Amino acid sequence: QQQVRQSPQSLTVWEGETAILNCSYEDSTFNYFPWYQQFPGEGPALLISIRSVSDKKEDGRFTIFFNKREKKLSLHITDSQPGDSATYFCAASGSNYQLIWGSGTKLIIKP
Amino acid sequence: DPKIIQKPKYLVAVTGSEKILICEQYLGHNAMYWYRQSAKKPLEFMFSYSYQKLMDNQTASSRFQPQSSKKNHLDLQITALKPDDSATYFCASSQEGWGEDTQYFGPGTRLLVL
């Protein structure tokens, strides 16, 4: 049972465009949503996170938009750079110790 | 200096053999994890330990056994290796093991089973 879903599986955008990565979840008790970024040959690293009490979290060119009613969130990367090419994982956790991971979106930024 | 050390970086094994993947973290964390990543499954959670006790096991096979000899060590023993076990194995750690803790990942061990 896949509790956290990501789409698209892969995404290609041109440099300077905005990349939009989507994530949805099923468990209404989830209240914390981190996004991890993974470059080839490396382990994932926390990029940005949001709690369910907020509907938006911004960090430079990276913004999370959160819709609690629809159980959806998205990561927007504005002014995409080739260095942003990576795989992005959405994850979710609730009141326990588990972090549930999505299947990732592979992002390619074309110069 | 690397904060999470995984050894070896690359590992080639024959089917049916046994290998141990080493993980040490120097972040002062109390929780450690193992993940597996392959072309079939992008990032698959395997185990989590907190204060050297097993918290969660999502691995169906008993061929995978974590071993925690010290608070900052969590090794992974894999027995009766199969070609399907070929993957990159990541160790991670976090402060206490709660879902909201940031997890820090090691560089991974790339295992190839022939």
- The pLDDT averaged over each successive group of 10 residues in chain A (111 residues) is 88 98 95 96 96 96 97 98 97 84 96 94
What is the pLDDT tens value at each position of chain B, 114 positions in all? 779 999 999 999 999 999 999 999 999 999 999 999 998 888 999 999 999 999 888 887 999 999 998 989 999 999 999 999 999 999 999 998 888 889 999 999 999 999
Number of domains present in the structure of chain A: 1
Structural domain including A104 reads 4-110
d(CA A91, CA A104): 9
Q: What are phi and psi for residue A84, nearest 5 degrees? A: -85, -10
> Do A32 and B108 count as a contact with CB atoms less than 8 A apart?
no
Position A1 scores a pLDDT of 53
Identify the closest residue of chain B to A31 by CA–CA distance: B100
CATH code, domain with A30: 2.60.40.10
pLDDT at A2: 62
Q: Which residues of A touch B106 (CB under 8 A)?
A: 43
Q: Does A104 touch chain B (CB under 8 A)?
A: yes
